[in-house]
Amino acid sequence: MSARGPAPGEGAADAHWLLRTVELSEHCPPSETAFSVGAVVVAEDGTVLGEGYSRRDDPHDHAEEVALRAIDADDPRLAGATLYSSLEPCSSRASRPRSCSSLILDTPIPRVVLAWREPAVFVDCDGAERLRTAGRTVVERPDLAEGVRAVNAHLLGAA
């Protein structure tokens, strides 16, 4: 993959990549029981290493794991990369043994940026806390959460 954009960093660059995750989330096959999420992993120089969205290849796929699946686990660029997700990475899940926060902790990715903290609709999520406790930098941009909520509005109405 050779797509590129701004080098990850606080402010406009983080906003650029989070808006990309919202775009990706709009491709999710619809679900009544799971959020639509987009994720992108960006190297230090702005190269896209992997992208994903919920349910892309399988009904149980989470966006972060699809994005990480595209990347060689030994890719040295992971050590300087930022993972962007439109929603807080999950800390537990019913359908698969490994949560997205565990999958992220399996990588050296030092920085995670999310737009929206997972609301307690389906499970109680403490992914951001787990990542911080493990020494990763977690940046939250609630100012960009509106687009994420809009994509998931049908789920929130039932909450």
CB of 103 to Zn ion, least distance (A): 8
Burial of 75 (0-12, 13-18, 19+ CB in 10 A): middle
Residue 37: helix, strand or coil by DSSP? Answer: coil
Residues that bind Zn ion (CB under 5 A): 62, 90, 100
Nearer to Zn ion among residue 44 and residue 140 (C-beta): 140
CB of 2 to Zn ion, least distance (A): 27
Nearer to Zn ion among residue 62 and residue 136 (C-beta): 62
Tell me the HSE value of 103 on the side-chain side, using a 13 A CA sphere: 22
CB of 131 to Zn ion, least distance (A): 12
Q: Are 13 and 4 in contact (CB under 8 A)?
A: no
Nearer to Zn ion among residue 11 and residue 97 (C-beta): 97
Residues labelled catalytic: 64
